[in-house]
Amino acid sequence: MKKKHLCLVLTLIFALLLGGCASGETADKYVGDLITSIKKEDPSSLSSFLEQGISDENETYVLQFPDELKDSYLKFLQASFNAVEFEINGAKKIDDERYSVQLTFTPLDIEATTKDTCEKYSPAISSTDLNTEMTKLLEKATEAVKSSPSYEASTQLTLEVKKSKDGYSLDDEQLQKLFSATMDNIMAPYDSVCEILDAQDYLTSCLNALFKNDVAEYAKHTGEDESSVQSQLESSMYAPPEELSASYTERYSAALKAICNNCQYSVGTPKKQDGLFNYIIDVTVTPNTSFQSAMNELETGTYYSEEEVDRALVELMEKYAAAPTYGAQTTVTVSLNFKTLAAAGAEDSEITSLIDTILPVE
């Protein structure tokens, strides 16, 4: 009986071994093969992980993550994941359908790894095209990951692997758990460019709201309703003088809008300073002297009634709206931070000085 029992046990063990060899796969081997596949083959398994990062960034900035940038960013994440070495510590059976697999690894800190690269690249940003600038940076950031990766402390992670008749699998939740644990600060390179271009877009939107009567982008930055912003401009920027006859107010406002629309300025790339939201920006301006020209010509005329003055004013405004005059191109340097924004309406503020340079009124 004992020999028969022993033979039965040996037969069962042998059958199990044959089964394992036939399938050629265990839970821990599956995880190892999956990691290798992610490192070397199609990076699309990182898509959901990237999408979460994109969602967070799109909540932070008005500028939105370009769809055409996704492929480049996925390749960057794949290179980052490839920089992490894993030790797979075997699998433990939880039940017939689940196994736990423990990994040991040192997570990659992407922000620390790419910090120098991003800081060197930021001053070289030469366009407002987020996709173009990020594509260039990601090439350099990928080289940094390959040549000088910066790691955090070694850690362990346990993944739950499912087993079915079709084999082993790792659901999306477990996959995201793996990526989150192995790569930290994945959007750091994107932040380094987007925060600068977003600040540039903000100042441009402020000027466009004032001078181009284009309030859509400004409303996105401030969270204000477009109609509310438009109403504020109509009652301030484009408001006619109180003493102007009612019969000329519409023409005056229309002419002033046209003069403002002729203003010429270009907001340069912000230079990041120490602290939160703190930039120095050069704005190239060709002063629109049309309003000054209209006022100077008005002062040389002779008028015999208030109505003649009003008519002459509006006609001169319309004249210079159609044929604007300009001064010499100049560069105005402004600080863009919470302090300057709070003081933007003051007569001696940098923002007021910029506005007065774009459209001198005195």
Looking at the structure, tell me whether residues 248 and 350 fall in a common domain: yes
Determine the Cα–Cα distance for residues 310 and 155; give it in Å rounded to an integer: 78
pLDDT band at 12 (very low <50, low <70, confident <90, very high): very low
Taking only the tens place, the pLDDT of each residue in 168-222 is 999 999 999 999 999 999 999 999 999 999 999 999 999 999 999 999 999 999 9
290 in a structural domain: yes
- Which of 13-27, 31-45, 130-144 shows the lowest per-residue confidence on average (mean pLDDT)? 13-27
Query: How far is residue 181 CA from its own chain's centroid?
Result: 24
307 in a structural domain: yes
Looking at the structure, tell me whether residues 179 and 44 fall in a common domain: yes
Looking at the structure, tell me whether residues 258 and 342 fall in a common domain: yes
Of the residues 177, 193, 209, the one at which a domain ends = 193
- Interval 17-35 mean pLDDT: 71
Q: What percentage of the chain reaches a pLDDT higher than 90?
A: 89
CA angle 205, 207, 210 (to 5 degrees): 110
Count of structural domains, the chain: 2
Looking at the structure, tell me whether residues 136 and 30 fall in a common domain: yes
Determine the Cα–Cα distance for residues 333 and 351; give it in Å rounded to an integer: 10
- Which residue range(s) make up the domain with 305? 238-358
Looking at the structure, tell me whether residues 150 and 49 fall in a common domain: yes
Looking at the structure, tell me whether residues 158 and 52 fall in a common domain: yes
232 in a structural domain: no
243 phi/psi in degrees, rounded to 5: -80, -5
222 in a structural domain: no
- Confidence at residue 24, expressed as pLDDT on a 0 to 100 scale: 59
| Residues 291/355, Cβ–Cβ less than 8 Å | no
345 phi/psi in degrees, rounded to 5: -85, -10
Determine the Cα–Cα distance for residues 305 and 5; give it in Å rounded to an integer: 125
Q: Which residue has the tokens 């401030």?
A: 222
Report the interhelical angle of 110-121 vs 188-211 (nearest 10°): 40
Mean pLDDT of the chain: 92
Q: Which two tokens stand for residue 280?
A: 């120095």
Q: Is the pLDDT of residue 311 over 50?
A: yes
16 in a structural domain: no
Tell me how far CA of residue 103 lies from CA of 80, 157, 340, in angstroms: 17, 5, 51
49 in a structural domain: yes
Taking only the tens place, the pLDDT of each residue in 154-181 is 999 999 999 999 999 999 999 999 999 9
204 in a structural domain: no
Looking at the structure, tell me whether residues 75 and 158 fall in a common domain: yes
Looking at residue 107, its amino acid is: P
Greatest alpha-carbon span in the chain:
133
Of the residues 193, 227, 255, the one at which a domain ends = 193
Looking at the structure, tell me whether residues 60 and 117 fall in a common domain: yes
Determine the Cα–Cα distance for residues 122 and 115; give it in Å rounded to an integer: 11
206 in a structural domain: no
Q: Which two tokens stand for residue 141?
A: 């950031």
Looking at the structure, tell me whether residues 120 and 39 fall in a common domain: yes
Q: Which of 301, 289, 272 is nearest to 121 (CA)?
A: 272
Determine the Cα–Cα distance for residues 264 and 326; give it in Å rounded to an integer: 9
- Confidence at residue 345, expressed as pLDDT on a 0 to 100 scale: 81
Q: Is the pLDDT of residue 289 over 80?
A: yes
Looking at the structure, tell me whether residues 188 and 243 fall in a common domain: no
| Residues 220/282, Cβ–Cβ less than 8 Å | no
